[in-house]
Structure 1
Amino acid sequence: MGIVRLADVIKEEAAEAVSSFPLQQYRDRVIALDASIAIYQFRTAMPKIFNRNGENISWPGGQRLPGLGETLQAPAEAEATCAALVKSGKVWCTATEDMDALPFGSLRLIRHLSAKKSCEVEEFSLPAILQKLGMTQEQFVDLCILLGCDYCGKIWRLGPKKALRLLQQHGTIEQVLQNIDPQKHPLPTNWDLEGARRLFLQPEVADPGQITLEWHDPDPEGLVQFLAREKHMNESRVCRRLQRWHEAQPKEAQPKQQVPREGRRQRKLGDFFPASKRARPPEVPSPRPSRKRQKLQAGTPGKAGSPEPGK
């Protein structure tokens, strides 16, 4: 669920903290991605794929494809570890659709990330949000709790605008509770306010100091082993796709590994734009001149066979 209506509140009250950039703006930037959400979106959009044995292999069963990207396992919430990586400077921003990366402390959050060339992402700047709202990080966490989060219930009938105004006036949730009618705004049962605060401000995360991000070239042989021999996909087709990917890379970024044998043939322009031979149009015979025109041409001065003037 994330934080209820937080994006709307920020866009209305701190619009300067939200920017829109084309995806190319993030070239060479290291982005921490909540893989569970990205994989779920990929899985739901993926068509069914059957191998040569008729088995549905659309989803690789939670297995990681060999040689594709750097991954690490978060001990608890993925967004919390992503935020810790951003704060440590290991990565530039967090990419997720859940706004709770901001109360976890991610300095930058981008949303709507996709592989489309025309993709434009939405970037939220946490320092700009805090400055515009006039809040500390602790007060911002209290705001997120009042709006509604995954870790505790929400105060009844306390809307986003009123919650923001009350928190800006009184500073903490405890002070807000002293200035609202408990009959109109009853607290949820077993409301664990301190537990929710602790989860946001002191989350369990992977230690960024113990993390070394290393980028390796993809492993074509490992992919062929996994897709063709373990999942029984057509090996020639897998190798052709790997070859196409290899040739699409910039020369300075092309991996050093050799593409498996089935994909080593150099692709020609005709492989991408197959051309069919065009039939030559039939020759149309030129029309024969009429007899009258032939006589006129025969009598034209200066022509061979024409009578000289005066004769």
Structure 2
Amino acid sequence: MSSMFGKARSGSVVNLSSNVPDRNLQSLVHECNISILGCMGSGKSALTVKFLTKRFISEYDPNLEDTYTTEEVVDQQSVILRVMDTADQDGPINCERYLNWANAFIVVYSIDNRRSFEGCQQYLDIISHHTKGVQHEYPVILLGNKLDMERYRQVSKSDGVALAAKHSCLFYEVSACLDFDSVQHAFHEAVREVRREAERNLPVRPLFITEEKPLVSLSSSTAVASKHNLTTFSTLSAANYKEIPPIAQAKVVTVKSSRAQSKRRAPTLTLLKGFKIF
């Protein structure tokens, strides 16, 4: 760790200020860039360090801005997570540097500082304006920090909920000082939102229709034929032939010889009753 007046660093955290990755939505399942925004004193650096190292440091140099990277496992899937800890003093300044870099934003205010909450509204307005008209959305999380300062609260939870609803973003209240799990959950939820947005913007697979057609059933063909007054084999048989009886019911017709005195039986012809000869 660095001194109490510098940005906290860890051996597992690498500075990647000059390496800006591709922002293609299809690659976001494995990589994610998150910008931490908020006015000075809201606790951006403390939240970043808490998430990366599970440690809390109360004081930092407010003029330092760094980007860190870490590998996280979110929902059993590995992701390379880059976190930009911005150094805006009293509000949004030179916003293009993080608007064009980030895939998601965490906007932070301190619940014991009304001015920091009002500054959050400016950040949310800028993000909304930046993403207006684009094909995909950038997930935003509104984070009320310093929950451990509850007795000095100046911003009610309902105010945070209302502001988040206005900008259609998620909202949490956390304490970088006390609770690591809630801080980690906020960062991981940002990754989940990026993944959901990437899935929504995947190209639609083309639909192929085969030329093969199923065989038409006999009942279907008969119905079609009757509709159009056509003759089929089945209708022809029904119209011109009676039901053929079984062999046991066949009538034997004997044709006698013209010579009555001949005792030899003449050849006989066996016909099936009801069968019509054309």
Give the TM-score normalised by structure 1: 0.22
Give the TM-score normalised by structure 2: 0.24
